[in-house]
Structure 1
Amino acid sequence: MVVLSKIYTKTGDAGETALGNGARVAKHSLRVQAYGTVDETNATLGLARLHAGGPVDEALQRIQNDLFDLGADLCRPDMARDHEAGYVPLRILSSQVARLESEIDGMNAALEPLRSFILPGGSALAAHLHLCRTVSRRAERLTVELATMEEINPEAVKYLNRLSDWFFVAARIANDEGRADVLWVPGLTR
């Protein structure tokens, strides 16, 4: 259980932060950027939820919880030493990726195939989900770059890749099952 009785600690005043294993790193390190951008994705998702209801909001809440799991995963390096932690460190599981895939397939079944690229917009929920999509793509790019330098959980990359697809399909659902999608018209303003 997490207990936060004091919010500021002053331990980061010199530009460093602690990772999940206690190691101190620069706040601008790629690992911190990756899990920080996952946190940013979660914040944009909170905005999207202001426009959601019912099963969509429930799914978004599950994803918000997953994003905290993902942040915990990314902030703990040295997967090979997980057994030394004295507890089982939180890692993204293949079942979380599979759940996203199943939900994408379920939503996509209600949609007509795309015949044009779409512009981010339409309903307020769709616009916010497109913002979630782009921020999660940035988190994915940073995580993939981190994986070229350090060991990370491969399910973390898969989760981020599916998540941006989930947001895309959910945005189409939010646009009257794609009927209110804003279509790109190539060369429209030439």
Structure 2
Amino acid sequence: TSGAINFEGKDISKLSITDRARAGISYSFQQPARFKGTTFRDLLSIASGSDDENKLVQIIARCGICSLEFLDKPIDSKLSGGEIKKIELATTIARNPKLAIYDEPDTGIDLWTIDPMVKLLKTEQEKNDTTTIVISHNRAFLEAADSLLFIENGKIAYSGNMDGALTILNDLSVCHYRGTYDVEGYSGGYR
């Protein structure tokens, strides 16, 4: 496939990861990295630009992490997939990005954690005026989306809201956009 990804009027597809971060773009991977010797506190401090414990506690509380002891756990320790996913979610939120991209945010997460996670992403999006893209096959994320794009074989198969999507829901990749976008000649904006 080819094309460009424009954000705030600039093609970001060729920017380095560092330059994307400087532009205010944050990405949460489907399979988060585990940094040997790094603690959750280290990651949050770097992401938020602060080592103020009160600020870090507020971030982890919003993400459903209740234990202060969790802050000092090494990321490479025996954490569950769900714990690692919550760490990455908290790190992404701590950056307060202009654009947050979440790739399958429910990977490794318990079923009872999905609805609170959907609410958290929606709250953070509205509170910080963040453009949020969620790539998911989970209906809870679809139903919370302002708008949907279904992509099949590299082409936009559907663009609209959940009501119109019900007739074509299959094994498609789904993206939620808030803000403006330009994908290979298809432009639009959603809020």
TM-score normalised by length of structure 1: 0.26
Decide which structure has greater helix share: 1
- Of structures 1 and 2, the larger Rg is shown by 1
Decide which structure has greater strand share: 2
TM-score normalised by length of structure 2: 0.26
Kindly indicate whether structure 1 or structure 2 has the higher relative contact order, using CA contacts under 8 Å at least 6 residues apart: 1
